[in-house]
Structure 1
Amino acid sequence: MNRRPPLMLQIVTGDPRPITRQITDGIKRHIASGELVPGDGLPSVRGLAQQLAINPNTVAKAYAELTAEGWLLARTGLGLFVAEQRQRLSDAERERRFGEAVDRFVSAVIGLDYAQQTILDRIAAELSHYATKHSA
């Protein structure tokens, strides 16, 4: 069944990530949390661009990236839909990206002077939103 729930994304002008990245990250979070499930339809490029008050080319680029990575499936004449979950990256690529993400995170928080346990507790709380979807 193809549902089209509203796609609640927010573009933050002060965010250092490009708008395209904010869109892809937001959609990935919706999928990982189960808010979007396989078969759910996404707004059209024009529709999401109007909702976010951004250039349609930016949305098209984000959708193209998500499609290339296997998060979305394009159905000719019907639009874009959340793809069935599958292993999207090789184990080596997953490990490489994980290492980079951890390095970036540690670099970003090391100077904030929080206790290690406080940081770990906060990460655990954030990840708990996704625990029902992914384990291990």
Structure 2
Amino acid sequence: MEYNPSLPIYLQVANSIKRDIVTGKLEPGAKLPSVRDLAVEYTINPNTVSRVYRELEMENVCFTRRGTGTFVTQDPEKVRTMRREMAGTLIYEFLEGMKQLGYTQEEAIRILEQSEYKEDR
């Protein structure tokens, strides 16, 4: 993973895990990697991973069972909410970028509708 220097690493890793959850790569109730394994996977300090897991627990994205590990939430509504929030963030960032280029929201939407983007790419 390539890290963005303007955002704390623990938030970037947490967002990556959330993205894996909303896309179905991590299923509800799935066991997350141990702190050490995730630290190796992301090449970060184990203390940073602990902070990632604490952050995800505070957001009710995951939960920890003492002695067995950390698991993805089993609440389908939480996953739907995260998905909507992530979509909203992407839309906002896109529209802000288009605004900086001098486009109105309506023009940006028209460009999207006329785009040659294909879903199978």
Does the alignment reach a TM-score above 0.5?
A: yes
Give the SS at the match of 1:61. Answer: helix
8 Å contact from structure 2 (residues 3, 12) kept in 1? no
The 10-residue stretch of structure 1 (54-63 or 113-122) with the greater mean CA deviation from structure 2: 113-122
Aligned position for 1:132: none
Uncovered stretches (5+) of structure 2, i.e. residues with no partner: none
Aligned position for 2:9: 19
Q: Could you state the TM-score of these two structures normalised by the residue count of structure 1?
A: 0.62
Aligned position for 2:100: 111
Uncovered stretches (5+) of structure 1, i.e. residues with no partner: 1-9, 92-96, 127-136
1:30 aligned to which of 2, 16, 20: 20
CA distance in 2, matches of 1:31, 1:57: 22
CA distance 1:109–1:16, change in 2 (3 Å): farther
Aligned positions of 1:3-18 closer than 5 A: 10=1, 12-18=2-8
CA distance in 2, matches of 1:15, 1:55: 16
Question: How far does the alpha carbon of each residue in 1:11-68 deviate from its partner, in whole angstroms, 9 at most, with x for none?
Answer: x234522111111111111111111111211111111112222111111111111011
Structure of larger gyration radius: 2
Aligned position for 2:39: 49
CA distance in 2, matches of 1:41, 1:59: 15
CA distance 1:16–1:105, change in 2 (3 Å): farther
8 Å contact from structure 2 (residues 35, 50) kept in 1? yes
In proportion to residue count, which structure has more helix?
Answer: 2
CA distance in 1, matches of 2:111, 2:41: 37
2:66 aligned to which of 76, 93, 97: 76
Give the SS at the match of 2:75. Answer: coil
Paired positions, count? 108
Give the SS at the match of 1:74. Answer: strand
